[in-house]
Amino acid sequence: MKNFSDLGVETSILNAIQEMGFETPTPIQEQSIPVFLETGQDILGLAQTGTGKTAAFGLPIIQLVEPSNRTIQALVICPTRELCMQISKDLGNYSKNKSSINIVAVYGGSSIERQISDIKRGAHIIVATPGRLMDLMNRRALNISTVKYVVLDEADEMLNMGFEEDVEYILAETPKEKRVCLFSATMPKSIRNIANRYMNDPFEITVGKSNSGNVNITHQYAVVHARDKYAALKRFVDFNSDDIYAIIFCTTKHETQDISDKLIKDGYNADCLHGDLSQGQREKVMNRFRHHAIKILLATDVAARGIDVSGISHVIHFSLPDDIENYTHRSGRTGRAGKLGVSFTLLNMRENGRLRDIERLSNVKFEKILIPSAEEVRDKKLVAFIDTIVNTEIEESIFDDKVMTSLRPLLTLPNEELVKKFLSLELRRFSVEYLNAPDLNTTSGDRTRDGERGERGGNVRGQRIFVSVGKKDGFDIRSFKDWVAQESKLDWKELHVDVSGVFSFVDVKEELAEKVITALNGNTYEGRPVRAELSGEKPGGSREGRGGRGGDRGGRSGGGGYSSRRSEGGSSSYGGGDRRRSSGGDRDSRGGDRERAPRTERSDRSSYGRSEGTTERSGYGTRDGGRNRSYGGDKPAGDRPSGERRRRRD
Ligand code: AMP
């Protein structure tokens, strides 16, 4: 495997990127950097965000720009101010050891005078959004007739946003002799036309399959009535809330604000990003999201472009994008840096048909899931909460004499009563909200697009196998699935897993169950004996199949479930874990990430993990309770306010 030095990157840049943690080049970097540095060829890259394309063009530009030449030598054009700021920040980092290179970012929504004075001080590289760049050109504040390198980043998005004419105008103002690099996640005809007109026999790079989605992303959808979308969204979030860090896409600014307001009112740790917010407000929201003070970000497509936040667990499409190609852009926010992610679409029945187009155009395969039932949400909360308590180490230093005296009223309570009181506090909101809560899945929507009956919770169902290892043994969903696949010699695709703190479940087709049990039962994992047997539970309810998330943050155990929620029962910190909650309505969240309690020894919880864990689980709430209740008649769809697409200037 080649390293950056093999690609021709100079030492000062090598040192800078090493500090950024870049050890080996990504595929697009491996292909584009030598071409950029060593040949005079233009580059046409079919690549999505998250592939490392900024460095693919950024490192050669930093290397090739001549500090002593005080004219603008490189121009990077991108669709949004967020991306513009991100690229200029990245370029600044790459050139850390070459301080004589000036990079100026110009974008709308920020003082043009300041940008003009920055340009006047001397810019080697301009990173710009098309609207502001045109503005500066018209004011004669910037001269691009000297540029040697032009990069069009996220070109398809620029065209989607109506910047085609602007881009052509800008390109026409650049000198004939120049290098052009064009990166795009998709390659519609309009991009091909630009490439044909403005590029000279470009070197073509495709990262992954053309238009293919990221393999780390699981694409799921559920069909609900339009009027139930918000309730379904909440249920999905509740089911996954122990580790959710999500972007929810809406089509219009109004919808974005509306859903965000509702979620905040309902106690979720959410906020929104759209074009009606001032630059300052947008930056504030982004900062809080980046620092996990907000766990759920609602955004329009335009506002979300260029957001580079790592660790997004879910991308949720509250509405499908008007432009199908935006689906790829949206989904690309998750499943980055080798982590698994879920892209989940909430469809109303009218939107059902559009999935086919997305599958075809974006080359992704959708898996139908069902919105978890109220019982399943509660069941999962309960299991997770028990799991947290079982795994919490007692912090003896807290319990001095004074505290012990204060605790006396609790200590005199019978054990069962005490446990029930704590659980009541923890689960009160769910008990109230989900009392008699209907099944939100549409019956007609149960039909998959292939005409088959959609199975609850996913497409690999048959037998559920209990396995006596879990997160406590260091597993997360990915590593557990890997291990099961390896031991049983089955393919990943044939397995659905649900990893809990001290035990796990594997769901497989009936005929494969014996094979898995034989492979795992009596086996050892890191020297410990493993028990595997039919769980007696029906498959389903797993994180993967049931509104679930394919990824996991390794080592976290189930968690009490709503780290991002405000508890109405007022159960604040509990069991030694500092459960910092969002303060909800005032938006002044104090950061929703709960610290995990240290692991306890395996022996502390072995009895729980084996039989009690499973019986409790299945005994709590009937899995198909209320499942077949019908919920009113169908209301005409059309929950989405008119999704007008307008030309938007940054
Ligand atoms: P991009 O596609 O340019 O938005 O990059 C996606 C993310 O990958 C950014 O957070 C980069 O900092 C990171 N990245 C890019 N190249 C590398 C590399 N060679 N090694 C590690 N991380 C990288």
pLDDT tens, residue by residue, 241-256:
777 999 999 989 999 9
User: Which pLDDT does position 621 carry in this prediction?
Assistant: 30
Length, in residues, of the chain: 650
Q: Which of 48, 54, 157, 214 to mutate to test the pocket of ligand 1 (most atoms within 8 A of CB)?
A: 54
DSSP state of 438: P
Ligand 1 binding pocket mutation candidate from 1, 48, 308, 328 (most atoms within 8 A of CB): 308
Tokens of 395: 């912090």
Whose alpha carbon is nearest atom 12 of ligand 1? Answer: 52
- Those residues of the chain that have pLDDT short of 70 are 208-215, 305-306, 308, 325, 337-338, 429-432, 435-436, 443-461, 536-650
User: Residue 474: which residues within 8 A CB-CB, separation 6 or more?
Assistant: 526, 554, 555
**Contact yes or no for 9/59 (Cβ under 8 A):** yes
- The C-alpha R_g of the chain, in whole angstroms, comes to 27
pLDDT value, residue 113: 95
Q: Let me know: does 129 contact 77? Beta carbons within 8 Å.
A: yes
Q: What is the pLDDT of residue 90?
A: 95
Task: Report pLDDT for 306.
Answer: 60
Ligand 1 atom closest to Cα of residue 48: 2
What pLDDT is recorded for position 213? Answer: 54
Q: Residue 542: what pLDDT?
A: 40
Centre of ligand 1 from the C-alpha of residue 116, in Å? 30
What's the pLDDT score for residue 208? Answer: 55
Residue type, 113: E
Q: How far is the CA of 598 from the centre of ligand 1 (A)?
A: 32
pLDDT at 57: 97
Contact call for residues 84 and 125 (beta carbons, < 8 A): no
Measured from the CA of 86, which atom of ligand 1 is nearest? 4
Question: What is the residue type of 297?
Answer: L
User: What is the CA(40)–ligand 1 centre distance, in A?
Assistant: 25
Cα 21 to ligand 1 centre (Å): 9
Question: For ligand 1, atom 6, which residue shows the shortest CA distance?
Answer: 50
Candidates 5, 19, 22: which one to mutate for ligand 1, based on the most atoms within 8 Å of Cβ?
Answer: 22
SS3 for 603? Answer: helix
Q: Best mutation site among 6, 19, 26 for ligand 1, i.e. most ligand atoms within 8 A of its Cβ?
A: 26
CA 26 to ligand 1: nearest atom: 19
Spatial distance between the Cα atoms of 109 and 81, rounded to a whole number of angstroms: 8
Residue with tokens 């099944």: 439
**Whole-number pLDDT of residue 479:** 83
Which of these, 133, 220, 206, 218, lies nearest to 169 by C-alpha position? 133
Residue nearest to atom 14 of ligand 1 (CA): 52
Report the atom number in ligand 1 closest to the C-alpha of 58: 3
Using most ligand atoms within 8 A of CB, pick from 1, 17, 18, 20 the residue to mutate for ligand 1.
20
Q: Which residues is 529 bridged to in the sheet?
A: 524
Question: How high is the pLDDT of residue 321?
Answer: 86
How far apart (Å, rounded) are the C-alpha atoms in residues 33 and 266?
Answer: 49
Query: Cβ(150)–Cβ(185) under 8 Å?
Result: no
Partners of 479 in the beta sheet? none
Nearest CA to ligand 1 atom 8: 52
Residue 596 tokens, joined:
């995990």
How close is the Cα of 315 to the center of ligand 1, in Å? 19
Report which ligand 1 atom has the smallest distance to the Cα of 49: 2
Measured in Å, residue 202 CA sits from the centre of ligand 1 at 24
Write the residue with the smallest CA distance to atom 5 of ligand 1: 52
H-helix or E-strand spanning residue 341: strand 341-347
Cα of 10 vs centre of ligand 1, distance in Å, is: 18
Q: If you measure from the C-alpha of residue 582 to the centroid of ligand 1, how many angstroms do you get, rounded to a whole number? A: 31
Ligand 1 atom, smallest distance to 54 CA: 3
- What is the model's pLDDT at position 539? 61
CB 319 within 8 A of CB 248: no
7 CA from centroid of ligand 1 (Å)? 16
Return d(Cα 470, Cα 620) in angstroms, integer.
Answer: 21
End-to-end CA, the chain: 41
Residue nearest to atom 18 of ligand 1 (CA): 22
Q: Which of 391, 398, 442, 383 is nearest to 600 (CA)?
A: 391
Q: Which atom of ligand 1 is nearest to the CA of 21?
A: 21
For residue 316, the model assigns a pLDDT of 97
Distance 339 CA to ligand 1 centre (A): 13
Compute the distance from residue 88 Cα to the ligand 1 centre, in Å. 14
Distance from the CA of 240 to the center of ligand 1, in angstroms?
27
CA of 420 to the centre of ligand 1 (A): 48
Task: Confirm if 204 and 616 have CB atoms less than 8 A apart.
Answer: no
Give the contacts of 595 (CB within 8 A, at least 6 positions apart).
577, 578
Q: Counting atoms of ligand 1 from 1, which one is nearest the CA of 51?
A: 2
Closest CA to 563 of 578, 552, 585: 578
Q: How far is 322 from 84, CA to CA, in rounded Å? A: 24
Which residues are near ligand 1 (CB < 6 Å)? 21-22, 25-26, 29, 49-55, 308
Name the residue at shortest CA distance from atom 1 of ligand 1: 52
CA of 561 to the centre of ligand 1 (A): 31
CA angle 643, 186, 247 (to 5 degrees): 50
Tokens of 572: 């604040």
Closest CA to 493 of 504, 505, 484, 502: 484
List the residue whose alpha carbon is closest to atom 19 of ligand 1.
25
pTM of the complete model: 0.46
Whole-angstrom Cα distance, residue 358 to residue 325? 8
DSSP alpha helices (H): ranges in 245-392? 253-265, 279-290, 301-304, 326-331, 354-362, 374-391
Q: How far is the centre of ligand 1, averaged over its atoms, from the C-alpha of 50 (Å)? A: 6
Q: In angstroms, what is the span from residue 51 Cα to ligand 1's centroid? A: 7
What is the whole-number distance in angstroms between the Cα of residue 20 and the centre of ligand 1?
A: 9
